[in-house]
């Protein structure tokens, strides 16, 4: 039988290698040629660690040179991929990002120490709300519902976790109610988007306004009046997994954490598995890509969307709990502080893929700790620019690579039965 197949003439562009090469040149010039005096000491182990590894010491500007050249080499690899009309693989981008991060750390800490374990560990802790928020957003978007209300879900989760934990003195109930809080926000989004066919972006933005209003009102009217009883939950205990937590670097970073971090670490690969390897995920993605087609094979589009959006809200609500009982120890006004919007960017940056999105979230977590730390080691450096880095990266990524990423096709489009 005939198999007509015209050659695809669409080509993988040269945006990746060009971007990578320009950053490489930037690193060589600013961190190498114009680099700063002094040695940078990378501390691998903490003083309290069981196994002590020696620190690594390297001249700041030579590190700039070395990492710049490595970055250029990776750009060259990316170029060869593009020439073969292949995408640059994810691991190459991750490697590239890691080297870039080391170059930046080395430059910032010239004449100082870089506490690697502390920085990576804190990045992870700070990234957890973003990761869980992004997974929530991803679950909504994969079934075709735009979720701009992640911010609201985080806030609702943070609020519920703090208040319920304080009142009941039970963190478990706090976590559960955080999920319920996030799910409630999702429920409104789901009902408006699926039943009332409202414009999803608008509903999301409005939900943010509403939930900020509600939590701020209750905070002002109630939590501040009676903080001791209703907003004094403290934080979850840090769990040390025996033996594993003694592994250098990885141990303290991964195996010595609060339950919220563990949940995030487990949830990301689980979500990946569900989305891409199971019946549930296949159906969800079908609904997000072509709801009518899913309908014609007997999948209930509305119900699928409803459940995934609600579950997504639970994930984001848990992310909110990570803000209060997982980190700060109390609820504060508008404490999500834009994490929800960052999570939204992370979903796109991660191309609607759980693992890539989690990695992108780590980048944001890193930038937050970097700002604090950089202020200490080199006070002269304008930290406002450092905090801008992930946002600029997002803009570049969205602008340069959007052609390669494909959102679910039915995203933001309501579906109605005849």
Which one of 17-25, 64-72, 93-101, 388-396 is the stretch in contact with other proteins (CB under 8 A)? 388-396
Q: Is 180 exposed, middle or buried (0-12, 13-18, 19+ CB in 10 A)?
A: middle
Q: Is 282 in the site for other proteins (CB under 8 A)?
A: yes
Cβ density class 3-21: b for 16+ within 10 Å, e for less: eeeeeeeeebeebbbebbb
Instruction: Check the CA dihedral 342-344-347-351 and report its sign.
Output: negative
Q: Is 22 in the site for other proteins (CB under 8 A)?
A: no
Task: Report d(CA 11, CA 32) in Å as an integer.
Answer: 35
Q: Which are the contacts of 271, defined by CB distance < 8 A and separation ≥ 6?
A: 135, 138, 139, 354
* Residues of this chain, 23-42, that bind other proteins according to CB under 8 A: none
Give the number of other CB atoms < 10 A from CB of residue 392: 10
Q: Is 47 in the site for other proteins (CB under 8 A)?
A: no
Closest to other proteins by CB, 31 vs 219, is: 219
| DSSP SS3 for 147 | coil
Q: Is 217 in the site for other proteins (CB under 8 A)?
A: yes
Cβ 33 to other proteins shortest distance, Å = 25
Q: Is 84 in the site for other proteins (CB under 8 A)?
A: no
Closest to other proteins by CB, 269 vs 403, is: 403
Give how many residues touch other proteins by CB under 8 A.
Answer: 88
Closest to other proteins by CB, 200 vs 310, is: 200
Q: Is 48 in the site for other proteins (CB under 8 A)?
A: no
Q: Is 375 in the site for other proteins (CB under 8 A)?
A: no
Among 89, 169, 395, 404, binds other proteins (CB under 8 A): 395
Cβ 45 to other proteins shortest distance, Å = 34
Cβ density class 259-273: b for 16+ within 10 Å, e for less: bbbebbbebbeebbe
Q: Is 282 exposed, middle or buried (0-12, 13-18, 19+ CB in 10 A)?
A: middle
* Residues of this chain, 125-154, that bind other proteins according to CB under 8 A: 148
Closest to other proteins by CB, 213 vs 269, is: 213
Which one of 162-170, 171-179, 304-312, 393-401 is the stretch in contact with other proteins (CB under 8 A)? 393-401
Q: Is 275 in the site for other proteins (CB under 8 A)?
A: no
Q: Is 244 in the site for other proteins (CB under 8 A)?
A: no
Q: Which are the contacts of 304, defined by CB distance < 8 A and separation ≥ 6?
A: 143, 283, 284, 287, 294
Dihedral (Cα; 118, 251, 316, 396), 10-degree rounding: 60
Cβ 405 to other proteins shortest distance, Å = 10
Q: Is 380 in the site for other proteins (CB under 8 A)?
A: no
Q: Is 295 in the site for other proteins (CB under 8 A)?
A: yes
Beta pairing class for 112-115 and 39-43? parallel
Closest to other proteins by CB, 57 vs 229, is: 229
Which one of 119-127, 132-140, 204-212, 229-237 is the stretch in contact with other proteins (CB under 8 A)? 204-212
Q: Is 199 in the site for other proteins (CB under 8 A)?
A: yes
Give the number of other CB atoms < 10 A from CB of residue 51: 11
Which one of 56-64, 122-130, 215-223, 257-265 is the stretch in contact with other proteins (CB under 8 A)? 215-223
Which one of 103-111, 155-163, 241-249, 338-346 is the stretch in contact with other proteins (CB under 8 A)? 338-346
User: Distance from CA of residue 299 to its chain's centroid?
Assistant: 31
| DSSP SS3 for 71 | helix
Residues comprising the chain, all counted? 418
Which one of 83-91, 287-295, 321-329, 372-380 is the stretch in contact with other proteins (CB under 8 A)? 287-295
Nearest Cα to Cα of residue 280 among 261, 300, 264? 300
* Residues of this chain, 299-328, that bind other proteins according to CB under 8 A: 299-300
């Amino acid at each position: 039988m005939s198999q007509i197949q015209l050659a695809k003439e669409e080509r993988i562009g040269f945006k990746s290698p060009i971007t990578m090469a320009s950053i490489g040149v930037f690193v060589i010039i600013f961190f190498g040629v114009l680099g700063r005096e002094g040695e940078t000491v990378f501390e691998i182990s903490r003083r309290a660690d069981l196994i002590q590894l020696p620190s690594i010491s390297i001249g700041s500007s030579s590190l700039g040179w070395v990492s710049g050249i490595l970055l250029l080499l990776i750009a060259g690899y990316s170029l060869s991929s593009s020439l073969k009309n292949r995408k640059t693989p994810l691991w190459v981008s991750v490697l590239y990002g890691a080297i870039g991060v080391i170059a930046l750390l080395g430059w910032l800490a010239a004449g100082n120490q870089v506490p690697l374990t502390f920085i990576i560990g804190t990045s992870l802790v700070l990234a957890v709300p973003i990761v869980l928020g992004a997974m929530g957003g991803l679950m909504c978007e994969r079934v075709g519902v735009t979720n701009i209300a992640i911010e609201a879900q985080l806030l609702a989760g943070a609020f519920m976790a703090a208040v319920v934990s304080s009142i009941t003195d039970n963190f478990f109930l706090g976590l559960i109610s955080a999920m319920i809080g996030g799910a409630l926000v999702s429920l409104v989004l789901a009902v408006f988007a699926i039943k009332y066919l409202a414009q999803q972006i608008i509903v999301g933005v409005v939900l943010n306004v509403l939930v900020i209003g509600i939590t701020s009102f209750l905070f002002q009217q109630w939590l501040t009046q009676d903080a001791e009883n209703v907003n004094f939950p403290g934080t979850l205990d840090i769990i040390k997994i025996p033996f594993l937590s003694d592994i250098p670097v990885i141990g303290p970073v991964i195996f010595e954490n609060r339950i919220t971090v563990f949940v995030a670490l487990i949830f990301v690969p689980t979500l990946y598995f569900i989305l891409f390897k199971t019946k549930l995920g296949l159906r969800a993605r079908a609904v997000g890509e072509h709801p009518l087609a899913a309908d014609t094979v007997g999948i209930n589009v509305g119900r699928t969307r409803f459940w995934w959006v609600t579950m997504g809200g639970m994930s984001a609500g848990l992310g909110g709990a990570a803000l209060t009982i997982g980190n700060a120890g109390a609820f504060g006004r508008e404490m999500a502080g834009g994490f929800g919007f960052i999570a939204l960017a992370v979903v796109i940056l991660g191309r609607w893929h759980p693992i890539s999105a989690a990695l992108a979230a780590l980048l944001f977590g890193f930038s937050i700790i970097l700002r604090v730390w950089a202020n200490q080691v080199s006070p002269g450096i304008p930290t406002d620019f450092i905090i801008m880095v992930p946002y600029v990266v997002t803009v570049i990524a969205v602008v340069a690579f959007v052609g390669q990423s494909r959102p679910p096709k039915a995203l933001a489009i309501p579906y109605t039965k005849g």
